[in-house]
């Protein structure tokens, strides 16, 4: 077993005003991520409810990205979920899919700039990313990518830049193929504890790190699928828990259904229990690692 304590990362590649200089020694890996693919349903409202159920995992900022198949729209604000979204905002966010994020900063300061999901657009591909956890090889990745010290605002921003760079070499592929190819290239280079949710115009994608340090579960909703950091976010929207993602698993959800990819080398997949999830982060009514947190 391992505690997976990876907080308070300092790197010369983080912008000076983005360094985490807090003296608060409490664990800080507990962001909440959520995703829903449910054509014909109010996905923005469902995401709001899911994030509300995950509010305990992050109170600094909240955001979501919604796609109607043509446009990917990102809305994010500082503060609690209830402060970030009102009925008018949610009603204007119509679409078939959405991802959401509650932030508790690990690397990077608590500013709107670092609120998630982050967005990138490259030619015919655009995507949004929500991230729970943090990387331990940010400096090495930034150096490999030729990024100048002080230009990285967070490890989430770095991941988005790496994916963007990879996408720039894939003009000959369809958007979905290009994005999956970029993920297959970038994900094995990431070292740390993380769960990720992505959205592009037509799909949502969930990723769990090879050790399974950070949680991510898969749920079934009438006419759709759901991804969430914890199972209560499924319960609140009437979805049922199918299973937790396996360590190192990538789940792709679109109109053709749900399928799994395994981009990490099998030698790197080493399931480990993070006690901090049970002790500090998770709700007592959550199911983690196949166990009830309460019991």
Backbone angles phi, psi at 158, to 5 degrees: -65, -45
pLDDT of residue 151: 75
269 CB contacts (<8 Å, ≥6 apart)? 210, 247, 248
Residue 195 contacts residue 206 (beta carbons within 8 Å): yes
Catalytic, 274? Answer: no
Distance CA 189, CA 163 (A): 11
User: What is the model's pTM?
Assistant: 0.86
CATH pick for 27-292 out of 3.20.20.120, 2.60.40.1220, 1.25.40.10, 3.60.20.10 = 3.60.20.10
Tell me how many degrees the CA angle 109-103-159 measures, rounded to the nearest 5: 75
For the chain, the structural domain boundaries read 27-292
- pLDDT, tens digit, 9 for 90 and up, residues 9-32: 344 444 444 444 444 444 445 799
Distance CA 136, CA 253 (A): 29
Given 31, 217, 258, 274, which residue is catalytic? Answer: 31
Q: Which of 252, 199, 206 is nearest to 229 (CA)?
A: 206
E strand or H helix that includes residue 282: none
pLDDT of residue 9: 37
Please determine, for residue 179, whether its predicted confidence score (pLDDT) is greater than 70.
yes
């Amino acid at each position: 077993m391992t505690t997976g304590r990876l907080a308070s990362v300092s790197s010369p590649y983080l912008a000076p005003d983005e360094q985490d200089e807090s003296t608060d020694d409490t664990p800080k890996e507990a962001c909440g991520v959520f995703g829903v693919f449910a054509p014909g349903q109010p996905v923005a409202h469902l995401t709001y409810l899911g994030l509300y159920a995950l509010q305990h995992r992050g109170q600094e900022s909240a955001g979501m990205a919604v796609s109607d198949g043509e446009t990917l729209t990102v809305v994010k604000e500082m503060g609690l979920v209830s402060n970030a979204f009102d009925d008018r905002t949610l009603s204007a966010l119509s679409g078939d899919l959405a991802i959401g994020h509650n932030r508790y900063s690990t690397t990077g300061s608590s500013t709107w700039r670092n609120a998630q999901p982050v967005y990138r657009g490259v030619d015919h591909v655009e995507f949004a990313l929500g991230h729970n956890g943090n990387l331990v090889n940010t400096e090495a990745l930034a150096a490999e990518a030729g990024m100048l010290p002080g230009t990285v605002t967070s490890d989430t921003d770095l991941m988005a830049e790496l994916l963007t760079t990879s996408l720039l070499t894939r003009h000959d592929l369809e958007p979905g193929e290009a994005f999956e190819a970029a993920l297959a290239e970038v994900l094995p280079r990431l070292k740390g504890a993380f769960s990720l949710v992505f959205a592009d115009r037509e799909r949502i994608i969930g990723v769990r790190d090879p050790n399974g340090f950070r949680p991510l579960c898969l749920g079934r909703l009438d006419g759709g699928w759901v991804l969430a950091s914890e199972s209560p976010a499924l319960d609140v929207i009437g979805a049922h828990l199918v299973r937790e993602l396996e360590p190192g698993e990538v789940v792709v959800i679109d109109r053709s259904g749900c399928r799994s990819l395994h981009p990490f080398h099998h030698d790197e997949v080493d399931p480990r229990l993070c006690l901090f999830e049970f002790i500090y982060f998770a709700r007592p009514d959550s199911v983690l690692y196949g166990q009830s947190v309460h019991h």
